[in-house]
Amino acid sequence: MDFASPTRALISLQKRKPAVSANAVEAAKKLLEKDTSSKDYLDAIFMLMNDESERWEGLSVSLLLATKILVDATANQSSSAVYIDGPRVPMENASHAETKTERSFSPEQLSKVATWLHQASLKYLEHNEPRVRTFVAKAVGAHATWSIGIDNAQHEDERQAVHSQIVKSIQDHIEEGRDNPEKYSKSSIGALDDTTGWRALETNWQCLACWIASLGDKYYETTGLQLDQLLENAEHSAVVHLNRHVRAASIAVLEQLTVSAGSNEKHWHLLETGSLRKTIVKVLKAGLADNWSQVRMAASVLNRVFWKTIKETCKFSNDNLKQLYPTLIPRMCLNRFYLAQGVKLYSHQTWKLLFPESGIEVVAQSIAPVVRYYVQMCDADNHVVREAACQAVAELAGKIGMDEVHYAALQPHVPILLQALIMCFHDESWPVRDEACLACGTFCRAYPEECRPELETLWTRWTEQLTDQIWSVRADASVALGDACQAYGEEFFHRLMKFINENLPAALNQPAMTLEEHKALQNDMASHTDSQLYSCGSLAPKLKKNSNKSGAGRIGCSNCEVNRDKQPWEATDGCLYLIRELVDECSYDNSTLPALSDDILLPLLRQVADVCRVSHFPQGDDLRTTLWRQLPTMMEAIGKQRCKRLYLEIFMDLLMRNIESRTASAMSKHAAVSCAYELSMLVGPNIFRGRVYDDYQREALDRAMSERQMQQQRAPKERGTQFSPFEPPGLLDNLDSHQFSKLTPGLPPDMMNHPGVGAGTSF
């Protein structure tokens, strides 16, 4: 069934297989006719609603059409939005209004439709089909919105009857559980379904949310309202209940209760110190840390509504607001790094709305609970949370640790944060290790002396990461080592140079393999049947937690301690990233490192070019791809004059051979063309072209450069501007590229959108 619009719903009803009843088809045809009178239109809706076949499709369509009639009749009345179909990022600037029907209905006809919806709501509140229950929820909201403006005792009684049945149904569902009242009671912790709906409990909460949104502040004047019992049930459903849909729906009810209380001053006490505030804080504490993204999204919406209501509408004192900081600020900060984009972006926007200029001060004031929460989340079961926690910890070092005013606030907490990061450095999930690697480098740069006791442990982990099987891990390890080099100066620099000299030639020791042999190995079914399964690291929760030696109790993918063996060429690849980082660091004006003189750098880059000529194994193209991506950054740091005079010649032959090669991979050729384009912009197109050896290579270069220029013209000319969650827009606009990269140490120069330390913190 297609319920995108009434017309499409009616058309799909006629095409439904197995076919609906003849009466339902006849009613659908009549409803689609433009010349149908208002009376006949309502008669057709009534026919659908009372179809003897009791098919859910016709009933749903009739509820949709009847609800739309009342919605159109109250189009000028404002009510809060309820996200019936699940919590998603609210469309703040979009209009949700549908096209109004061409027919007009008299007050008597509207009253008749309202009575139908009331009767249907009572009858189908716990219908077996969840889509019917969803339309009942919308019908309840439409009926309440329309009838609240009608001075009619009958409709007031109807509203009270619907509310009483909704509240009673919620109470019954919570007391009875799902199937077996004895086994699945309110206090049950048994294994219950967490993916599908929970009988009618979810849609009952949706009904109540629509009902409250329609009545606004008048809801608190509802006859027989037992607010404490309702809040207790809402807290149970949002915090304790196992089903994520129920948790999200009950959070939506609290959102509407907040809006309603904030719209009338005589109910503000509920948000200042009352039971509603206490319930909301407990729910946000759990919801903003929920393992399911849809629950986090619902809690994030409630969080913004709650803060804006008490801060802007009620205008409570700063002392009252600061009482919320220890509980909510840590969770709000962490969610700006959460993997789910809806939660992340919405949390970013919330932070900027609530703390446009005081973000750092707010975090500094709450530093102790923020640190405790971050350390706790570094050991969370969900790998996505651990990854976000590492990014959030790195932000503390990058924003507070490098701020002269608030530097001392974080200083006492550095040892415990560093231990949490080192724990994540050994994580089974490589994205977590990656973020922990970057964060440790940032901490060393911000607090070098506090991190010095763990420097040997960090050195071991960093160098292991630099030779990892995953290229982005190698790239980020080089960034972390570059930060540590800036922190510890010349001694660490010489240690890195020794590591480079030992590992740069490793690709020469790579076992020989032809491309055909490599493809045959990849396509050999025997080699991949009944073998260890490997995880990409991005879908598994924390593995082996609470597991025994036999593996019982493990969740997620298989044991990620069993990994593909490291290849020698990967050590060379990691050294290329590290050389780029050192060249960049040593060229920085305020660098504490010794300058890379030509006596040191020239032989090193000649060795790089020689090693990258390897062709006896298929991954040689990957190695050259890395070189071409890093070379422009190196040459820019070296400078235009030195590049033209000494260094350009070293790579020209290898670069042009890669561009004109017929056997090179598409990725390496693309990287080579991009490198040639950027180098030509650095030294001058004519000078660069003049260094090419022969006419054949010049023709190949001209073709490649022409294609590159066409790509540049097709690319967007501007990128959207993003800002730091802790800083107001415009504060970092005047940073040069090097300062920018240093404040975002997880952002390698060749990867403008790479999720590094500032991955949740985009400037």
144-199 tens-digit pLDDT: 888 776 766 776 777 778 888 888 888 888 877 655 444 443 444 443 444 444 67
Mean pLDDT over all residues of the chain? Answer: 80
4-8, 495-499, 535-539, 620-624: least confidently modelled range: 535-539
**Spatial separation of the C-alpha atoms in residues 174 and 727, rounded to whole Å:** 44
**Spatial separation of the C-alpha atoms in residues 436 and 752, rounded to whole Å:** 20
**Do 665 and 621 touch, CB atoms closer than 8 A?**
yes
First to last CA, the chain: 44
Both tokens of residue 311?
A: 């801060």
Nearest to 5 by CA among 134, 142, 100, 85: 100
**Spatial separation of the C-alpha atoms in residues 192 and 180, rounded to whole Å:** 11
Q: Where do we find the tokens 């010049």?
A: 698
> What average pLDDT does the segment 34-61 reach?
83
Both tokens of residue 4?
A: 């995108």
**Spatial separation of the C-alpha atoms in residues 415 and 393, rounded to whole Å:** 12
Nearest to 276 by CA among 255, 246, 297: 255
> What average pLDDT does the segment 466-470 reach?
90
**Do 658 and 672 touch, CB atoms closer than 8 A?**
yes
Residue 88: pLDDT band with limits 50, 70, 90? low
Report CA 398 to chain centroid distance, whole Å: 21
Give the whole-number percent of the chain exceeding pLDDT 90. 35
Burial class (CB in 10 A: 0-12, 13-18, 19+), 551: exposed
Q: What is the pLDDT of residue 129?
A: 82
Highest mean pLDDT among 42-51, 666-675, 698-707: 666-675
> What average pLDDT does the segment 658-674 reach?
89
Highest mean pLDDT among 61-65, 75-79, 179-183, 215-219: 61-65
Q: What is the pLDDT of residue 579?
A: 94
Nearest to 124 by CA among 62, 172, 40: 62
Give the whole-number percent of the chain exceeding pLDDT 70. 80
> What average pLDDT does the segment 698-723 reach?
65
Amino acid type, 612: C
Distances (CA, A) of 714 to 311, 319, 685, 717, 753: 46, 54, 21, 8, 19
Q: What is the pLDDT of residue 224?
A: 67
> What average pLDDT does the segment 22-39 reach?
83
Nearest to 260 by CA among 223, 225, 213: 213
Segment holding 284, helix H or strand E: helix 275-287
**Spatial separation of the C-alpha atoms in residues 170 and 203, rounded to whole Å:** 10
pLDDT tens digits for range 409-459 = 999 999 999 999 999 988 888 899 999 999 999 999 999 999 999 999 999
Residue 14: pLDDT band with limits 50, 70, 90? confident
Q: What is the pLDDT of residue 22?
A: 86
C-alpha atoms less than 13 angstroms from C-alpha of 68 in its C-beta half-sphere: 24
Nearest to 418 by CA among 462, 455, 465: 455
Higher confidence at residue 352 or residue 100? 352
**Do 201 and 246 touch, CB atoms closer than 8 A?**
yes
205-209, 258-262, 371-375: least confidently modelled range: 205-209
Q: What is the pLDDT of residue 104?
A: 81
pLDDT tens digits for range 98-147 = 455 567 888 888 888 888 888 888 888 888 788 888 888 888 888 888 87
pLDDT tens digits for range 183-192 = 443 444 443 4
Both tokens of residue 204?
A: 């009952």
Q: What is the pLDDT of residue 465?
A: 92
Q: What is the pTM of this model?
A: 0.80
Apex CA 602: angle with CA 597 and CA 604, to 5°?
A: 105
720 has pLDDT over 60: no
Higher confidence at residue 223 or residue 728? 223
Angle between helices 414-425 and 430-446 (to 10 degrees): 150
200 has pLDDT over 70: yes
12 has pLDDT over 90: no
- E-strand ranges in 593-706 read none
Q: What is the pLDDT of residue 760?
A: 40
DSSP 8-state secondary structure symbol assigned to residue 220: G
Both tokens of residue 763?
A: 């400037």
27 has pLDDT over 70: yes
Backbone φ and ψ for 517, nearest 5 degrees, come out as -65, -35
Burial class (CB in 10 A: 0-12, 13-18, 19+), 630: buried
pLDDT tens digits for range 618-662 = 888 999 999 999 999 999 999 999 999 999 999 998 998 898 888
Apex CA 753: angle with CA 345 and CA 335, to 5°?
A: 30
Q: What is the pLDDT of residue 173?
A: 82
pLDDT tens digits for range 479-523 = 999 999 999 988 899 999 999 999 999 999 988 887 777 777 777
462 has pLDDT over 60: yes
Q: What is the pLDDT of residue 551?
A: 39
Residue 241: pLDDT band with limits 50, 70, 90? confident
